[in-house]
Amino acid sequence: MSALFLENCRYVLRSRMVLFVLFFSSIIHYSGMKFLNHVTLSIQGAVSILGPKEAVYTALIFQIFTSLCIAAVYGIWMAPYAHRGERSVLTHVLPVSKINFPVCYLLCCGLLLFINQLVMIGSYTGVFGFAAVLKPEFPWWFLGKTFLFQLLCLEVVMSGLAVSSLFFGQVATFFIGGTFIFVLQILGAIASVFSGKPGQEVLSSTGILFLIYKNLPPVGEFLMDIKKLITGETVGVEHWLLWFVWLLIFNGLFFMKMKYPTQARSTEA
């Protein structure tokens, strides 16, 4: 297990793609917060400066975007890399428990997401100084809770994309995954508009569609759940459970693909 994890970490270090994404993340975080540090707002004659507190929430938006890029890159191209084409023959005969593969990929992706969180905090510290981070009112608890929720959600996204890449290929998964997330975002927006209102019958008119949606990963409500965490509200237990169930499903499919491989293709998508 540890040897497989270390090998995956070495592969990450050799991969320019993920390192480029982390470098890209550093530029986005630092330049974005540097810009905010010099922004002033004038509303009805009152001038206000965007300080460290506002920058934390803005940095979180940057961090969500870059973390999604990392999860997508890792899930589509890196996790399935050793299990496609001629390389798949070797991985299927290795004397390693096949459950170790998805577990190691979860750990490696989680490590990258944690590094991205450190990049955000480091950029914040570089712009506003250590004093801003060491203040008692700095929202460490809020950042930690938000990161845990992001970690669970993005691990599900990574695992789903990895499974899709194994079955359909990387290029097809890039378009399938993007379309799937886009559709779920639209359905989530529609569901939030009509939920709990007199127009609830609109949902029932397309009941089968929304019944399916409610049992899929709540990607469409991801940003709304993050907003709840930002404003101090709590995310429903059903969303935490649904994300966790789909994490088990996707990694179960990955494990089955490892344990019962299909005939390797001669070319890769």
Q: Whole-model pTM? A: 0.84
Q: Residue 269 pLDDT more than 50?
A: no
The CA–CA distances, whole Å, from 158 to 48, 105, 151, 170, 261 equal 40, 9, 10, 13, 20
Mean pLDDT of the chain: 80
The answer to whether residue 52 scores a pLDDT higher than 70 is: no
The pLDDT assigned to 253 comes to: 93
Residue type (1 letter), 5: F
Q: Is 267 left (phi over 0), alpha (psi -120 to 50) or beta?
A: beta
CB 172 within 8 Å of CB 166? no
- How many whole angstroms separate alpha carbon 160 and alpha carbon 86? 23
Place of tokens 């506002």: 54
- Could you tell me the CA-to-CA distances from 67 to 39, 62, 63, 71, 182 in Å, in that order? 25, 9, 6, 6, 17
Give 196: exposed, middle or buried? Use CB within 10 Å, 0-12, 13-18, 19+.
exposed
pLDDT at 250 > cutoff 90? yes
Percent of the chain at pLDDT exceeding 70: 81
Domain range summary for the chain, segments of one domain joined by +:
2-259
Higher pLDDT, 47 or 34: 34
- C-alpha distances (whole Å) from 240 to each of 123, 195, 209, 268 are 29, 19, 22, 35
